[in-house]
Chains A and B, each alone.
Chain A
Amino acid sequence: EAGVAQSPRYKIIEKRQSVAFWCNPISGHATLYWYQQILGQGPKLLIQFQNNGVVDDSQLPKDRFSAERLKGVDSTLKIQPAKLEDSAVYLCASSPRGRAYEQYFGPGTRLTVT
């Protein structure tokens, strides 16, 4: 079974530019999460989808971050415009239906904003 896929793995942009990350969860997983992990800290939830609906986006900086999950499968996370403090690893995770205690993480996208 293929794991959670993310791309790109690394991205370097200048502040005020925009960037997008892509996540393909494990096939059949209904729940998808985006986490932000700043260097030296634990991951922090940005947004959670159940199928293609948003369950929790309370910690998403909505003035600059947006995310969508069309058709309840792939998801994209966008930052526009980026700030220096957005430099972090962006982790995508997914859970199977009815087994939310199982979260499988992708390799992450390391973003550097200069």
Chain B
Amino acid sequence: AQKITQTQPGMFVQEKEAVTLDCTYDTSDPSYGLFWYKQPSSGEMIFLIYQGSYDQQNATEGRYSLNFQKARKSANLVISASQLGDSAMYFCAMREGLAQAGTALIFGKGTTLSVSS
């Protein structure tokens, strides 16, 4: 079974609008972390936001927020006020186990976001 599922291959949004990128995950480990990364055409993976499984509040980083619904095992990324520079591939990822354990990330297949003017 897929550990990370991103069901939207592509999303289109106009500048200044908000957009939600979906991510669902599957784990039986009570300790886990959820990440979103941006990968522009240059190829580098850029960390956007992190949510720990025990965090009570949804994570926010500037224009990025993570809509964490633990019971539904979803961790959707919300980008407010989209900009042309937001056009890129977005990956949801999960780390299982304690943060200190240093386990590798499991990535979804990604969603391509296109922002138009």
Q: A41-B110, A42-B93, A101-B33 are in contact. Are A33 and B43 (CB under 8 A)?
A: no
Q: How far is the CB of A53 from chain B (nearest CB, A)?
A: 11
Q: Is the CB of B42 within 8 A of A107?
A: yes
Which residues of chain B from 14 to 55 have any CB-CB distance to chain A below 8 Å in the complex? 33, 35, 37, 42-47, 50, 52
Chain B residues with CB below 8 A from A110, complex form = 43
Chain B residues with CB below 8 A from A30, complex form = 102
Question: How many residues of chain B get a CB closer than 8 Å to chain A's CBs?
Answer: 27
Q: Is the CB of B93 within 8 A of A100?
A: no
Q: How far is the CA of A108 from the CA of B42 in the complex (A)?
A: 9
Q: How far is the CB of A55 from chain B (nearest CB, A)?
A: 7
In the complex, residue of chain B having the shortest beta-carbon distance to the beta carbon of A93: B45
Q: How far is the CB of A102 from chain B (nearest CB, A)?
A: 8
Q: How far is the CA of A89 from the CA of B107 in the complex (A)?
A: 15
Question: How many residues of chain A get a CB closer than 8 Å to chain B's CBs?
Answer: 30
Q: How far is the CA of A10 from the CA of B4 in the complex (A)?
A: 29
Chain B residues with CB below 8 A from A99, complex form = 99-100
Q: Which residues of B contact A (CB under 8 A)?
A: 4, 33, 35, 37, 42-47, 50, 52, 91, 93, 95, 99-110
Beyond A43-B45, A99-B100, A102-B47: 8 further Cβ-contacts under 8 Å?
A: A35-B104, A41-B110, A42-B4, A42-B91, A45-B105, A103-B47, A105-B37, A105-B44
